[in-house]
A and B are shown apart, each in its own frame.
Chain A
Amino acid sequence: MTDFIVEVQGLCVQFGSFFAVKDVSFCVPRGEIFGFLGANGAGKTTTIRVICGLLPATKGSVIVDGEPFLPGREDRIKAKVGYMSQRFTLYEDLTVGENLDFAAMLHQVSGALYKQRKEDLFAMIQFNRTERTMVADLPSGTKQQVALVASLIHDPNLVVLDEPTAGVSPVSRQKFWELIHQLAAKGKTIFVTTHYMDEAENCNRIVLMRSGEIIALGTPKDLEKETFPKPMFRLLPKSDLSTEQLKNFKEQCELFMPYGRYFHVIFPKEGLVPPLFQEHFSVESIAPSLEDVFIQKVEGDRSW
């Protein structure tokens, strides 16, 4: 058994004349929570489809849990991956038990093994309802935990989560991430794709994709430090500012990104806030967020 559960080398995926993924290489160690981020159309979904055994590579190699992706042997990869999306994993018109029976049947898990796994997984999520509950009647947090159970019923070593906590309450979200950390501690590898950077902050490492290529790979903290070596400030205008004034302020900064009614700003002279800015804004020092990193890496300062 290698140390890596996912090994991607020189992956290219071409649709007609369009390269959705261009020469992508990365490895994911076992037990890691790995974030996979990028703007719409960056190539995330295509890469994930290859890793899940749903789409062949045009060029390059993908090995999942020691199993190389080879034509005709996709099922071997599928057996090693659990997939959970926030919205479509469960059937609302079926009960919890029926949904799990269906997932188990697809993965050919049956008998005592199925019963035992179901018990263990229900214990893990502390499921305290009857299996006869309709999925439609579950609160969104519980629904999501049952979806996680369904994705784990065949005991995969790799679990792919697609925007796993979108829309659930903060309390359920906190519990869900506790479960994810528990799974990682047991050696399961978690592969998270999301547009929401606060989810990505939970990852050990993240990859950032743009136009089919990897543009950054590292821990959230390292990427934040590497992308913004100078201090960042959050500015709140003391009064409404005209477009002309904003343009003038922007010209005096290394970075001047709108953030709601605030601006995230980096000044050319490290740590020094020019007096003109102090006059027009309330200024506070902040740590850059992963969203700042994402925008800076993917778009640079172009869009503003």
Chain B
Amino acid sequence: MNDIAAKLGMTGDQLEGLLAILVRNTVILIGVINVAAVMTLVERKVSAWMQYRHGPNRVGPWGLLQPLADGVKFIFKEVVIPYGANKPLYLLAPAMAAVPAMMTIAVIPFANDVVLFGKNWGPLAIADIDVGILYLLAIGSMSVYGVILAGWASNSKYSLLGGLRASAQMISYELSMILAILAVVALAGSINLKEIAALQASTGNPLDWFFFKQPLACFLLLVASFAETNRHPFDFAECEPELVAGFNTEYSAMKWAIFFIGEYSAMAVMSALSVVLFWGGWSVPFMPDAPWYLGFAAFLAKVSVYLFLFVWVRWTLPRFRFDQLMRIGWKVMLPLALLNLLATGAMLALFGPPGAP
């Protein structure tokens, strides 16, 4: 190891650190893309079960290889670019929809400090930055550009309407989402996601999880994340009965699939964010000194519950009307989020930060 490092003009520790970063980032990124693949299967299976069906069960045992078959199909299908489409933007849009979701995963802390081969490699996150929430919200909002660009570049009225709706919806719900998150930030006194998670995990008591201090904020963030990821009951960007398929009407083959990878990755990120903010991140109940792999498993389990909730709600609730969506966004969610933040601030001003003597 030291010899190779010397040839590259580095010390052994530097090379080890570089390799660790490479391995960690690759594993996390591939993991997220695989979550998207698995979620397509989960979505189809759960929807089938809820409708007394079996769901895909032909490819591999219990249909487990279905995402692979879907992927092969998408790659070999023809990319049809509609007449009059703005070609560069048309090709850029799917990437714009998927890349922000992959970028935001960078600040999610999946587990506490990883100890492997007798060495502490730091927390299991691509980037442990101090402005984690700020970064996540800023980059996360960019994913709406993909939807708007897709709507604009397709030269189709359905796509354009879908894109417009998506932008209006995102602006409305981003506000209440940020206000809901701010309440937690005020409690934690930090916008570093790792610190917020560590604060909840320190004693191992599940009652320390911020959900029990901010249940309303947790609920608001859940509803807002349905809207942010364009999921039922707020999927107005696609809204089949009115807009055919909305912003992705004119897309085919892998371009279409990338939109879905983006949607499911965004779901994964929103779930992970909710888990970090409200459900203690990697905290294992009653085990404050749990090793990092147990914490990682607990984190994945919590995220899975959230992802299941996304699918569950989609196949239960009918879609809102667009005016209802706007009414709920501005007249219910926003006042509630503001009140919650005010109440949190008042409590903090009166009684001081939690845990303070």
Is B truly associated with A? Answer: no
List the interface of chain B (C-beta within 8 A of A): none
Chain A residues proximal to chain B, CB less than 8 Å: none
